[in-house]
Amino acid sequence: MQGMQEQYPGFFPISFPGRNAAGVASGQAGHSRSLIVSASISIRLQILRVHLAREDALAPGRLRVLADRRLAPALRLVHAQPARSWHLPDLARAAAMSRTTFATRFKASAGMGPLAYLAQWRMRLAQRWLAAGTMPIGQIARTTGFGSDAAFSNAFKRMTGQSPSQFRRTPPR
């Protein structure tokens, strides 16, 4: 098995519940079908894991960053705490990498640097909340990590071409 894991980084051994195997061996009805279904699903998942482990399998973006075991913890932190004042050293530490290595690897995986990704993620959240229309703009500003409504408004307009109020009135369909 070790050779398989080295050759195919996404590979890991699959075990099946012993009771199904015992049921198949004893000829009990129903056990054969459940073992075949389990094996079929597990084999498909294994093929998918091996494929996704290849560096070129995914286009740059969030899914590719999440597929990278070293980068994923940093991305999960950003998604869980968008209001936090994130800095490159904090994110690099979460990934157990130097700042340079983290920034380079993140950019190669996401197609943009980590702080640019953070800004884009915050704007996506803001757009979602503005379109829903239930949260005041000031609260959206704070929830997305901006110190003031004006700073949020300026950043939002710079990224979308509209003020938050304009966007709320005419969200994209």
| Greatest CA separation for the chain | 72
What pLDDT sits at residue 21? 52
* DSSP state for residue 8 in the 8-state scheme: S
Q: Where in the chain is the domain with CATH 1.10.10.60?
A: 59-173
Interval 29-74: pLDDT, tens: 556 777 787 778 878 767 766 666 555 555 557 777 877 889 989 9
Mean pLDDT of 66-83: 89
H helix runs in 8-163, sequence order: 18-26, 31-53, 62-67, 72-80, 88-94, 99-110, 114-132, 137-143, 149-160
Q: Does domain 59-173 have CATH number 1.10.10.60?
A: yes
- Please count the CA atoms within 13 angstroms of the CA of 105 that sit on its side-chain side: 22
Interval 124-161: pLDDT, tens: 999 999 999 999 999 999 999 999 999 999 999 999 99
